[in-house]
Amino acid sequence: MTPKAFQSLLLSLPNELLLLIHDSIEPWDLLAHVCYHQLHARTRACYAKAYMTDFWQNLIFYNGLRITWRDVEPTETVWREAALRYAKHAWTCAQPACGRERLATNRHLMQRALATWDSDDWDGTFILDSREAAFSGDIESSDIFRYINFNNSFPGHDLDEDTRSMLTGECAFLRADPEIDEGWRMTDLLANHPIALDSFATFPPISWLRIFQDFIEGEDADVETTNDEGVTVGEALTSLATLLDKGLTQDKISTLVCFGPWVDLPDVDDSAPFPSSWSQQDAVRAAHRVGHWFQITRWTGFTFECFDETGMIAFIKCEDKQLPDNVRTHIAKYSYPRTD
């Protein structure tokens, strides 16, 4: 049966059956609901109910997404149009870290969070306050960070937040395979992937993300971001971007030169040196800024530890990866976009 014939058959049904079909669609299935809404005026009428603002809002929330508001009143129309935008992008985006695969992964992570967290702490209807010290479950970092890396266009740390947020989307990019570093194309930039940008950074979603850092010379302040509606991947990266263009501490550089980039990193058993073909100068050249750290290691997200005084703290989690024998090849990979 052709799509046109199927549509004709469907629309031959009475309104009561069309409403039953609507009610049978999985409540979390954003793409199916958008399809049904857009099919025809009669199917669209199934969504003309008083509670539709909550419906579209919850549909987006349970797909692990949060709209980044820009002085917009969150009405039914805003939530519905956002769902349509996400669906249109999902149908055209082939990136595994975005598109339909990201929506499916986000739903799975939300469902797993609901299944593992005590309802006294989180019942799936609000954002967790990670500044609280006592929890019955673990906070899980989104796996999307495995796909993210940064090119060498690090945003300046002294920029205002809106400008830094925009430039972060031009610096961070998505890899098709988290295990392979093939450089980046302009289409890989995170600014072109709203589903990835607007996905929650953690599951369950949290209102406060504090990232521990010991990269910066003379500074011991962590970076943090807050949002009562849930911190997103884009917001976490914008916060992290305040560090990217800053120089590493001398201790860090000395450790890199002597032992390699993976010494003292969480969840790494053995240090792995730079390629033997790299000189000490090559190592320093490739890794003298914080942003370079994410290029010489493979970032996999965050691990969380709970402290009585501060609540949940996020620690950057990395693992080793194979570096090219020629340092120039490595640096060029992050300096210029691929054109093939």
pTM: 0.88
- The rounded distance, in Å, linking the Cα atoms of 153 and 157 is 12
**Residues 270, 207 share a domain:** yes
Q: Tell me: do 173 and 237 sit in the same domain.
A: yes
Q: What angle do CA 307, 310, 312 make, to 5 degrees?
A: 60
- How distant is the alpha carbon of residue 213 from its chain centre? 19
Task: Provide the domain count of the chain.
Answer: 2
* Whether 43 and 72 share a structural domain: yes
Q: Is residue 87 part of a domain?
A: yes
Q: Are residues 177 and 251 in the same domain?
A: yes
Last residue of a domain, one of 57, 75, 92: 92
Same-domain check for residues 58 and 109: no
Cβ of 19: how many Cβ atoms within 10 Å? 15
Q: CA 122 to CA 176: how far, in whole Å?
A: 33
Distances (CA, A) of 258 to 116, 131, 255, 308, 330: 43, 38, 5, 36, 19
Cα–Cα distance, 253 to 151 (Å, whole number): 20
Task: Say if residues 256 and 280 touch (Cβ distance below 8 Å).
Answer: no
Domain boundary residue among 92, 119, 141? 92
Q: Are residues 149 and 293 in the same domain?
A: yes
Together in a domain, 146 and 229? yes
Same domain, 203 and 316: yes
User: Residue 284 falls within a domain, yes or no?
Assistant: yes
Domain of 329, in residue numbers: 101-335
Kindly give the confidence (pLDDT) of every residue in the chain, 340 residues in length, as a single tens digit, with 9 standing for 90 and above.
787 787 788 888 888 999 999 999 998 999 999 999 999 899 999 988 756 778 898 999 999 999 876 666 778 888 899 999 999 999 999 998 999 999 999 999 998 888 877 655 555 556 777 776 555 567 889 999 999 999 999 998 788 888 888 899 999 999 999 888 888 999 999 999 999 999 999 998 988 898 887 776 555 567 888 888 899 999 999 999 988 988 877 777 777 666 655 555 544 444 556 788 888 888 888 888 889 989 988 888 998 887 766 678 888 888 888 899 999 999 999 999 988 7
Residues 132 and 20 in one domain: no
* 80: helix, strand or coil: helix
Whether residues 209 and 111 fall in one domain: yes
Cβ count within 10 A of residue 161: 13
Q: Would you state the torsion angle of the CA atoms of residues 80, 85, 88, 93, taken in this order, to the nearest 10 degrees? A: -140
60 and 174 together in one domain: no
Q: Which of 92, 114, 135 is the last residue of a domain?
A: 92
- Is 340 inside any structural domain? no
228 and 120 share a domain? yes
